[in-house]
Amino acid sequence: MTIEDLKSTIRDVVDFPSKGIVFKDLTTMIKNGEALQLMSKALGDIYAGKGVTKVVGIESRGFIGGSILAYELGCGFVPARKPGKLPAVTIKKAYAKEYGVDTIELHSDAIGENDVVVIHDDLLATGGTMRACYDLVKSMNPKKIYINFIVELSQLDGRKNLPEDCEVTSLLKY
């Protein structure tokens, strides 16, 4: 199995979560042991040797790949969550996404100035969620920030909403 073969393990769900959306369901990929192992190694290979100290995973599907990536790199994992889900003091940012408005939070002590951070989510659509998370992480003044996705929906041009000075990688592009 190759990286490109991973596409065949991803299911399309029409009209989810709302009419007109074709949802890329990665649960069918991660339930396949060979595909999960390949994805895990590929994610780790991207950032090997870059000094990453923290991976921020965006709720909820970003928790899966983000945790795997943190494990592969031997670094810490930081959850970026919806409001009211984190127990300590948080910072937050509201953002627009392709089917509504939402808010994302991080613990205020999650990232330090000596951290090199990868922000991970499963999928890049319009980029609103990732941009909000990037802005939160950036406000904590880490040494470096990388952005990573498993899947990118290129036709939605979400990269235009992401910072130009930040390396953005996707394993798969549609």
Lookup: tokens for 132: 């909000």
Q: Which residues are within 8 A (CB) of 148 and not within 5 positions of it... i.e. 6 or more apart?
A: 43, 46, 47, 65, 69, 118, 119, 120, 121, 168, 169, 170
Angle at CA 56, nearest 5°, toward 136 and 131? 40
Distance of CA 103 to the CA centre of its chain: 15
Residues annotated as catalytic (active site), given as ranges: 61, 98
By DSSP bridging, strand 54-58 and strand 116-124 are parallel
Tell me how crowded residue 164 is: count the other CB atoms within 10 A of its CB: 7
Which residue's entry shows tokens 């989510």? Answer: 121
